[in-house]
């Protein structure tokens, strides 16, 4: 490896030798494999594979009779002992040769070509000869470890995985699968140093820092996934840990939510009418109940010309609107000052307070936890329609959180909230699913925190249908405030319902297509409705 400094200088001066045609890049991966059809029925008979990083990495889900559970096995190319030695040698050389910032700024075939070209030079200088099969296997692992996230990269490539959970070194990683829920995998970090190094890498990818002095990490990876990690055995007795909550690159559309039966077309048409008439909507539920997914689905209904400001701890929302300003909070450094903030820290409270000076038509807060609630509800009271999420399993518990310390809002201010959508993670016919449990309209809140509410929609668990149980109080409020006849408002609701149902029947599910169709509806409802019916 004495030649590495000279090799590094050659790479940095861009004097890499031109490869003969027969040695041009041959390594390719397919990151958009076909969607598999998951088998249903008896779990003990499940045994199937589907590609993750084709044609090299596959997911193999099968029944493990020894442990009496479904098992998720990542299948990757097997390396011979000599191939492992060569891989270790080449990875050391690649670390000296490559420009890490180049890998972070470029994607796809450009990065693969860059890596492969460096690998060819390294093989030539070290006089290592590989057959095509060995070369492609080694190139896969170099791609996985340098471009991807090491041994969890196949899991990151599985669009059916929601969470990746590592509970410490020497323990298998668990995943939360969209179809089969909690599954144990064969992916293990065997040594504490290996896992600690990986957690540090996660922090770097998230643009943050983790160490013995600051052993907690909460951030977002470049693909938008949320990562939470611990670093020391003082915090977690099993050593470093991490949990990655994955998000789809393109959010689920209203029609996709209908397809999953997470909500009904009537509920979506109702919420669309509220959003168009600038009412305030809150989405509540437990962890993993689908709050953010539904919130992102509702943003499709915001008028196309509206100015939107979104505020989040970690970036999860993805809007198609051109007049959208996404703001993300930032952690500080050093010791906290007298008011509890660190140097350079930008909190949700700071962002929200500034957002109302940006002339927003709609304000979206990813998750309300503390003092930012006061600013948000003050903004609602001043005429800025707002949306947000909160951790609460019912409207009563949400109101209690809002009117008691540390948030401590007055009852009159909480009444500004028009509608609350309650999400739940439930089991239907043996399957874990997400459902809109109920839609609750806030009519009045007493001084003691008790609420008078109206529930126009309620989910029936016995039939798995959404029942329309009463007339809308908020519709009446809109009619009174804007001087609109209630019949006209009901006609608007019915037209939106027909339009959404028409898109669903026409299989309009694509992120961009759904937004385009809704924008057309805003410009000319009759023509848009005619197009889908």
- In sequence order, which residues have a C-beta less than 8 Å from that of residue 40 and are 6 or more positions away? none
Q: Dihedral of CA 513/518/522/526: which sign?
A: positive
Q: What pTM, to 2 d.p., does this model score?
A: 0.79
pLDDT reported for residue 178? 84
pLDDT reported for residue 19? 40
pLDDT reported for residue 237? 86
Residue scoring higher pLDDT (334 or 180): 180
CB-CB contact of 293 with 259 (8 Å): no
Inter-CA distances, 114 with 27, 128, 129, 328, Å: 11, 19, 20, 32
| pLDDT at residue 20 is higher than 50 | no
The HSE-up count of residue 418 (CA atoms within 13 Å, CB side) is 24
DSSP state of 346: B
DSSP H stretches of helix in 391-472: 395-403, 411-414
Q: Summarize pLDDT for 379-394 with one digit per residue, the tens.
A: 998 889 999 999 999 9
DSSP state of 41: S
pLDDT reported for residue 84? 93
Q: Give bridge partners of residue 30 from the DSSP assignment.
A: 54
Q: Summarize pLDDT for 324-361 with one digit per residue, the tens.
A: 999 988 776 666 666 566 777 888 888 988 988 898 99
Q: Summarize pLDDT for 75-103 with one digit per residue, the tens.
A: 999 999 999 999 999 988 888 877 666 66
Tokens 């089969």 correspond to 180
Inter-CA distances, 99 with 124, 139, 179, 200, Å: 19, 17, 39, 19
pLDDT reported for residue 93? 86
Residue scoring higher pLDDT (432 or 86): 86
Q: 3-state SS of 267-309? A: HHHHHHHHHHCCCCEEEEECCCCCHHHHHHHHHHHCCCCCCEE
Q: Summarize pLDDT for 364-382 with one digit per residue, the tens.
A: 999 998 888 988 999 998 8
Q: Give bridge partners of residue 442 from the DSSP assignment.
A: 453
Give the three-state DSSP class for 149: coil
**pLDDT, averaged across the chain:** 88
Q: Over the Cα atoms of the chain, what is R_g?
A: 26
Q: Which of 530, 505, 510, 511 lies closest to 520, judged by CA? A: 530
Average pLDDT over residues 455-471: 92
Calpha distance 195→489 (Å, rounded): 58
First to last CA, the chain: 69
Q: Summarize pLDDT for 389-429 with one digit per residue, the tens.
A: 999 999 999 999 999 888 889 988 999 999 999 999 998 88
- In sequence order, which residues have a C-beta less than 8 Å from that of residue 343 and are 6 or more positions away? 332, 333, 334, 337
| pLDDT at residue 18 is higher than 50 | no
Q: 3-state SS of 206-236? A: CCCCCCCCCCEEEEECCCCCEEEEECCCCCC
CB-CB contact of 364 with 296 (8 Å): no
């Amino acid at each position: 490896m004495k030649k590495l400094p000279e090799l590094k200088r050659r790479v940095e001066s861009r004097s890499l030798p031109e490869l003969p045609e027969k040695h041009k890049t041959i390594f390719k991966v397919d990151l958009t494999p076909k969607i598999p059809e998951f088998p249903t029925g008896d779990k003990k008979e499940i045994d199937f594979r589907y590609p993750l990083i084709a044609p090299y990495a596959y997911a193999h889900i099968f029944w493990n009779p020894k442990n009496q559970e479904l098992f998720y096995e990542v299948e990757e190319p097997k390396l011979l002992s000599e191939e492992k030695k060569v891989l270790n040698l080449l990875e050391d050389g690649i670390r000296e040769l490559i420009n890490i910032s180049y890998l972070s700024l470029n994607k796809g075939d450009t990065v693969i070509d860059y890596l492969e070209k460096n690998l060819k030079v390294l093989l030539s200088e070290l006089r290592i000869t590989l057959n095509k099969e060995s070369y492609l296997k080694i190139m896969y692992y170099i791609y996985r470890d340098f471009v991807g996230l090491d041994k969890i990269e196949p899991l990151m490539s599985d669009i059916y995985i929601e969470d990746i959970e590592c509970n410490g070194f020497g323990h298998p990683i668990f995943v939360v699968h969209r179809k089969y829920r909690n599954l144990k995998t064969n992916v293990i970090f065997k040594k504490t140093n290996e896992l600690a190094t990986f957690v540090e890498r996660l922090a770097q990818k998230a643009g943050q820092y983790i160490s013995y002095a600051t052993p907690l990490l909460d951030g977002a990876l470049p693909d938008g996934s949320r990562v939470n990690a611990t670093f020391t055995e003082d915090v977690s007795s099993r050593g470093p840990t991490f949990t990655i909550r994955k998000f789809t690159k393109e959010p689920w559309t209203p029609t996709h939510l209908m397809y999953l039966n997470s909500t009904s077309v009537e509920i979506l048409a109702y919420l669309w009418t509220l959003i168009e008439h600038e009412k305030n909507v809150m989405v509540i539920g437990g962890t993993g109940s689908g709050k953010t997914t539904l919130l992102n689905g509702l943003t499709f209904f915001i008028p196309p010309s509206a100015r939107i400001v979104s505020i989040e701890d970690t970036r999860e929302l993805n809007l198609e609107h051109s007049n959208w300003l996404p703001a993300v909070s930032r952690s500080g450094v050093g010791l906290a000052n007298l008011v509890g903030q660190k140097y350079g820290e930008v909190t949700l409270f700071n962002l929200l307070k500034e957002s109302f000076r940006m002339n927003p038509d709609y304000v979206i807060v990813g998750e309300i936890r503390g003092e930012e609630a006061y600013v948000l509800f003050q903004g609602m009271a001043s005429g800025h329609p707002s949306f947000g999420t909160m951790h609460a399993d019912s409207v009563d518990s949400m109101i209690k959180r809002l009117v008691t310390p540390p948030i401590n809002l007055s009852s009159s201010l909480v009444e500004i909230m028009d509608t609350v959508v309650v999400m739940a993670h439930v089991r239907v016919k043996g399957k874990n699913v997400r459902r809109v449990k109920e839609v609750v309209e806030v009519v009045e809140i007493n001084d003691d925190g008790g609420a008078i509410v109206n529930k126009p929609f309620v989910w029936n668990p016995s039939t798995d249908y959404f029942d329309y149980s009463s007339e809308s109080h908020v519709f009446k409020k809109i009619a009174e405030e804007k001087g609109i006849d209630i019949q006209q408002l009901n006609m608007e609701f019915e037209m939106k319902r027909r339009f959404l149902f028409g898109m669903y029947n026409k299989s309009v599910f694509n992120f961009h297509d759904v937004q385009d169709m809704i924008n057309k509806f805003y410009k000319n409802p009759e023509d848009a409705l005619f197009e889908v019916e």
